[in-house]
């Protein structure tokens, strides 16, 4: 048995912030942001938490499939910005949706959270442990961005995407192969220094602005291109997929130059690369489901299409999934 995505939906907060917004309080320009990142605008959630974006996306996802929340038997929330460190955001989502007799958990693999969770959800369905999993990816990145630091304030946005994972009616389709990797050597380049057990919150950690994202952009940039391209290439090779037989590369959206360099390294033309960073910036765990939901909406996916989904994030975490598209007919 294989597992597949039978429905997918997204929620992005209505408030849009273009690059010019940052010019009033940071030493930056629309031109710099556009040229160095490809980002034009992003959405920030004014009030509320990550679950407040996930819940409407989850409702829409179930509605599209003609199911109600009670039909779900597990909830996974991929996020780096949970509502609280505990309780888990999956439980908050469960309560908001009014689902009973369900289990679930949160998963954090930084920008690879959704990719790692997609593999996990599919394997749980394949093994028969669960039949219908609500796989949620959401992040309120504005809650951990340092708006005084031009090196990262311009890079992220808020959003959520939710996919329903069910057994595929065609065993040749759905999740076909994957490679996931973690490498703690990356710890020093991208992290939130305080707030965990190593550096609990204190007046000092707040004064030192250690509850925000800290990153060395260039080191992350280089590792991201190599990481995503190399394992995606390997996945393609071992499954006999060529740039010609690939339909879509769906990469994590952190920087347009990272996306372009990754595709170039893999010999994949721009017409096969999903890009939406210009409208959302880096939404971390929401990026991949937002991309997929747009492709579905635009009718850009049909049964049998070869898709490579690829991600890279803090850790370093890195993942690549080979998915042969099949929605069991629910999204055709």
Regarding 37 and contact with ligand UT7 (CB under 6 A), the answer is: yes
Q: How far apart are CA 84 and CA 280, in angstroms?
A: 24
Q: How far apart are the first and last CA of the chain?
A: 22
Residue 72 · residue 94 · CB < 8 Å = no
Q: How far apart are CA 31 and CA 95, in angstroms?
A: 44
Residues 101-120 that bind ligand UT7 (CB under 6 A): 111
Residues paired with residue 309 on neighbouring β-strands, in sequence order: 250, 321
Q: Which is nearer to ligand UT7, 28 or 205 (by Cβ)?
A: 28
User: Which of 40, 150, 265, 303 lies at the binding interface for ligand UT7 (CB under 6 A)?
Assistant: 150
Kindly state the smallest distance separating residue 252's Cβ from ligand UT7, in Å.
Answer: 6
Regarding 276 and contact with ligand UT7 (CB under 6 A), the answer is: no
Q: How far apart are CA 39 and CA 297, in angstroms?
A: 22
6 burial via Cβ count (<10 Å: 0-12, 13-18, 19+) = buried
Regarding 254 and contact with ligand UT7 (CB under 6 A), the answer is: yes
User: Which of 61, 119, 165, 224 lies at the binding interface for ligand UT7 (CB under 6 A)?
Assistant: 224
Regarding 72 and contact with ligand UT7 (CB under 6 A), the answer is: no
Dihedral of alpha carbons 61, 63, 66, 68, sign: positive
Regarding 154 and contact with ligand UT7 (CB under 6 A), the answer is: yes
For ligand UT7 (CB under 6 A), the number of binding residues is 22
How many alpha carbons lie under 13 Å from residue 84 in its C-beta half-sphere? 6
Question: Which residues are known to be catalytic?
Answer: 111, 252, 282
Regarding 330 and contact with ligand UT7 (CB under 6 A), the answer is: no
Kindly state the smallest distance separating residue 218's Cβ from ligand UT7, in Å.
Answer: 4
Binding-site ranges for ligand UT7 (CB under 6 A): 28, 32-33, 36-37, 111, 150-151, 154, 215, 217-218, 220-221, 224, 252, 254-255, 258, 282, 312-313
């Amino acid at each position: 048995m294989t597992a597949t995505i039978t429905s997918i939906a997204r929620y992005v907060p209505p408030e849009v912030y273009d690059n010019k917004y940052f010019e009033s309080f940071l030493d930056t320009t629309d031109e710099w942001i556009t040229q160095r990142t490809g980002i034009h605008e992003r959405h920030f959630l004014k009030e509320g938490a990550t679950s407040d974006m996930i819940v409407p996306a989850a409702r829409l996802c179930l509605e599209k499939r003609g199911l109600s929340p009670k039909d779900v038997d597990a909830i996974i929330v991929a996020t780096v910005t949970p509502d609280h460190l505990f309780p888990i955001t999956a439980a908050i989502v469960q309560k908001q949706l009014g689902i009973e007799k369900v289990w679930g958990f949160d998963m954090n693999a930084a920008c690879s959270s959704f990719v790692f969770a997609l593999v996990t959800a599919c394997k749980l369905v394949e093994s028969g442990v669960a039949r219908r999993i609500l796989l949620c990816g959401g992040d309120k990145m504005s809650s951990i961005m340092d708006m005084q630091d031009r090196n990262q304030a311009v890079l992220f946005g808020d959003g959520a995407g939710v996919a329903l994972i069910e057994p595929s009616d065609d065993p040749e389709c759905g999740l076909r192969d994957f490679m996931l990797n973690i490498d703690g050597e990356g710890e020093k380049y991208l992290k939130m220094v305080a707030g965990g057990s190593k550096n609990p919150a204190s007046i000092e950690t707040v004064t030192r602005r250690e509850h925000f994202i800290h990153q060395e952009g260039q080191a992350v940039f280089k590792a991201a291109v190599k990481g995503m391209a190399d394992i995606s290439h390997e996945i393609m090779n071992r499954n006999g997929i060529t740039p010609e037989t690939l339909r879509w590369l769906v990469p994590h959206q952190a920087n347009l130059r990272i996306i372009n360099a990754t595709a170039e390294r893999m010999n994949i033309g721009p017409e096969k690369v999903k890009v939406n960073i210009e409208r959302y910036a880096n939404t971390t765990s929401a990026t991949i489901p937002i991309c997929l939901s747009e492709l579905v909406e635009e009718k850009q996916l049909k049964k049998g299409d070869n898709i490579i989904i690829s991600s890279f994030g803090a850790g370093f975490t890195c993942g690549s999934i080979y998915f042969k598209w099949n929605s069991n007919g629910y999204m055709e």
